Chains A and B, each alone.
Chain A
Amino acid sequence: MQLADELPYALAAVDKTPRMLAELQALTLWHQQQCPAYQQLVTAQWPDFSVNAAGNHNCVDNLAQLPYLAVRLFKQLELRSVPQEAVFKTLYSSGTTGTPSRIFLDRDSAAVQSKILVKIMQHWLGKARLPMLILDHPGVISDRSNFSARGAGIQGLSFMGRNHCYAFNADMSLNWTALEQFVESYGEGPVLLFGFTFMVWQHLLQALMLIGRRIHLPQGILLHSGGWKKLEDQAVSNQQFKQTVAELTGISRVHNFYGMVEQIGAIFVECNAGHLHCPVYADVLVRRPGSWEVADIGESGVLQLLSTLPRSYPGHSLLTEDRAQLLGEDNCSCGLPGKYFRILGRLPQTEARGCSDTFVPALQRKDLSGAQAETQTGAAL
């Protein structure tokens, strides 16, 4: 049985880690055989791990020994482990600025990814599809020319709900009529709300405050994602965020989640204790920049993501550009097994100081910080 067949939070490390290691080793071997550029990297950086002529390689006994790929390589190179004609869907990290990551999915990978996402979400939302309030404007998915990670995220999560209602107008102002109608129709029962963290704050919560109104969704569950950078700039903590949500909407169940388009499906949802939590299909390591050794629990470093899902592209072990802190494993006060961690924000952009000045034509020059928040989420979907 594969880990993908397990329930999302069913296994403690003693059962999970050996299986994870075996699956990730098999994936490392697979990607070496299918993706020549990846094979070249493993041979160069992890010679002990490279495949020998007989198609075997040395086994490792520790997740930390597995090769990892810097996540920005998906922006720079076309990395596939399936033939071009098998590509069923290509995901982009962001459609608006910079070079987007390109993630190639074949039919099976796309299916596994959706299946796992649904499994994880069902753990938090239950099996029934709930009436869904989308904290964005409808154009974000209908406007194909500007179909970004944000749109993809919303579309992906829409499958978890029914009777979708968009809370904002195209200019991101509150669509009070739609909102009121949604609350009237479904407000008594369980409902699902989803939006990007900053937009929830800015365009729902701040907007409600401004007009001095509240909505009442006592059985609502709010899912949000996209990173805290912009909220931190405004000195808004997770706790304050949740408190404001509770005051203005009556919602007490709020879950942030973390994921990226480069490693889709196996997302990390904030548990009831307020920690991002690994599902059985995925794991995290934190590394010290420079030596790249594994950091101690509680020590901040750079986050590495492991997932047993990516098979059509070599994305099963990625070094992200996010700083993080591992908080523990199998001992979270929420009671679920697995590692839990905290995101501390992005590594700052390296300031190019060479003559190799990066030239940004005027047309492409847009607010990069907003786009980054989106890439981080691309939300997973």
Chain B
Amino acid sequence: MSFTVLNPAIEPAMLSAPFAPADFAYCQALSEALLKDPQSRDYPDLIALGFWLRQANLKPLLAPYQQSDFFRQPLGLIFHSAPANVDSLFVYSGILSLLCGNQNVIRLSSRSGGSTAVLIEKIRGIADAFPLQNARFQLIQCSYDSPQLKPLIAEVDGRVLWGSDQAIQAQRQLVMPAHARELSFGHKFSLCLLGAEALLQADDTQFQQLLQMFYRDQLTFSQQGCSSAKAVIWLGDTAQVQQAQQRFWPAFTELVAHKQPLNASEQYQALANAQQLIMSSDTQLTLTQQQTISRITVAQLEPMFTNLHQGCGLFLELALTDLQRLNPMLTQAHQTLTVWGVDTSQLKNWLSTVHTGLDRIMPVGQALSFSPDWDGVNLIEQFSRKIVCQV
């Protein structure tokens, strides 16, 4: 298996002070390269990334970390391992680490394609203008078992592993120095909470907005992003929930029929996966198919759903009269809860009782927005060292 450096460095990599203007300029240049290229239009993830990389976004995002009563210094050499399939996810953690002053090596899967190829081209394109940043943002392509990884991992100060639980465990076989930190972002499952009463009371504009936001969260990546909801939790009494479902799903399936986000293989996958879940369940489930959207009514979030649900337009639906009933079903794998139409204080009261599961609670429409707080961890804090100075 080959080991390829995709953007070879012409300068030696040197650690830098955190939040250096030249590093922001590098991000800005990458943003412009992405947003200017017509190829990016085929990849919503690249457009989103392009906007995220703008200085106008990153500077305010990082401002809170720049005023403190301690010194911040980079962690050192960080190895990032990207999942094969969320094409651009690796850039978010890689860029935050770059901005913290670190030297980064980012492993891409040899199976990456599509938007990753465009991204690599852009990163190479700005390498000459930013030789120092390029040297600290090295992309490599190799498999998990590539022999060159062993000496590299033996030198790191930290590593970030994205991917399936299996992939993460496999990569842990390589030993890091004792002082090194590890962040792992494994398989996650996300939920969307909809308030039935609010949905019934929504006027047409509000309702259409909800549909668009829900669509963006769930179908931009065919429900494959870990923060896209695979289960919809309806909150309300039984009659309300039924009416809300009758309002929501036909309108949503119409939107899907209009936009056609799913190809034939994904539609097949949704059907086959629905059948698999139904046949694997301990209880009798029911299936509703409307156009390309399949819904399975469930009474519990069974543990097997977390591992087997493959998205592509398949939703589990759980109706609750009381949010507390969700608590025993939640596990560490439950990541994002997007919420619409639920009273904030009611929500916060309930959240204070959720001791296991749920890393981020976001409004519907913002499931996919990346933040330095991810899976319960602050990346900026993890990518830097806090230097205490009490003299």
Q: List residues of A whose CB falls within 8 A of some B CB.
A: 37-38, 40-41, 43-45, 47, 69-70, 72-73, 76-77, 79, 289-292, 302, 319, 321, 323, 347-359, 361-362
Contacts and interface: CB of A to CB of B under 8 A. Distances in A.
B279 A73 contact: yes
Interface in B257-297: 262-269, 271-272, 274-276, 278-281, 284-287, 289, 291-292, 296
A70 B143 CA distance: 32
B236 interface: no
Contacts of A40: 278-279, 281, 284-285
B164 A359 contact: yes
A354 B224 contact: yes
Which of A72, A321, A351, A358: most chain B CB closer than 10 A? A351
B268 A355 contact: no
Contact of B226 (A70, A76, A290, A354): A354
Contact of A355 (B144, B225, B312): B225
Contacts of A44: 278, 284-287, 296
A354 B264 contact: no
Contact of A357 (B84, B262, B289): B84
Interface in B157-205: 162-164, 166-167, 170, 185-188
B21 to A, nearest CB: 33
Contact of B85 (A43, A290, A351): A351
Contacts of A292: 271, 289
Given A353-B221, A355-B83, A43 B284 contact: yes
Contacts of B185: 355
B265 A347 contact: yes
B222 interface: yes
Contacts of B164: 355-359
A302 B198 CA distance: 40
A43 B297 CA distance: 13
A37 B164 CA distance: 28
30 contacts: A37-B280, A40-B278, A40-B279, A40-B284, A40-B285, A41-B279, A45-B287, A70-B271, A289-B268, A290-B291, A291-B292, A292-B271, A350-B269, A350-B312, A351-B85, A351-B113, A352-B224, A353-B224, A355-B83, A355-B85, A355-B89, A355-B185, A355-B187, A355-B225, A356-B164, A356-B226, A356-B310, A357-B163, A359-B144, A359-B163
Contacts of B114: 351
Contact of A362 (B1, B89, B187): B1
A72 B272 contact: yes
B267 A355 contact: no
A292 to B, nearest CB: 7
What 8 A-B pairs are tightest by C-beta distance, nearest first?
A70-B272, A354-B224, A353-B224, A359-B167, A289-B264, A357-B83, A359-B166, A355-B226
B87 interface: yes
B86 interface: yes
Given A292-B271, A321-B268, A355-B83, 12 more contacts: A40-B281, A70-B268, A70-B271, A76-B280, A290-B267, A348-B265, A355-B185, A356-B224, A357-B84, A357-B164, A359-B170, A362-B144
A317 B77 CA distance: 56
B24 to A, nearest CB: 28
B50 interface: no
A205 B59 CA distance: 66
B312 to A, nearest CB: 7
A272 to B, nearest CB: 32
A45 B275 contact: yes
Say which size band chain B's interface belongs to: 35 or more
B373 interface: no
B94 to A, nearest CB: 15
A302 B268 CA distance: 9
A321 B186 CA distance: 30
Contacts of A357: 83-86, 109, 162-164, 167
Interface string B76-120: 000000011111010000000000000000000100011000000
Contacts of A349: 265
Is the contact region of chain A dominated by helix, strand, or loop, or is it mixed? loop
A205 B340 CA distance: 64
Contacts of B222: 353
Contact of B264 (A69, A72, A290, A359): A290
A279 B221 CA distance: 42
A38 to B, nearest CB: 7
A338 B143 CA distance: 50
A237 B177 CA distance: 58
B276 A73 contact: yes
Which of B1, B185, B272: most chain A CB closer than 10 A? B272
Contacts of B188: 355
A79 B280 CA distance: 11
Contacts of B266: 350
Contacts of B271: 70, 292, 319
Interface string B133-145: 0000000000111
A162 B109 CA distance: 50
A362 B145 contact: yes
A77 B279 contact: yes
A366 B114 CA distance: 22
Interface in B23-75: none
B290 to A, nearest CB: 9
A41 B278 contact: yes
B311 interface: yes
Nearest to B269: A350
A43 B264 CA distance: 25
Contacts of B268: 70, 289, 302, 319, 321, 347, 350
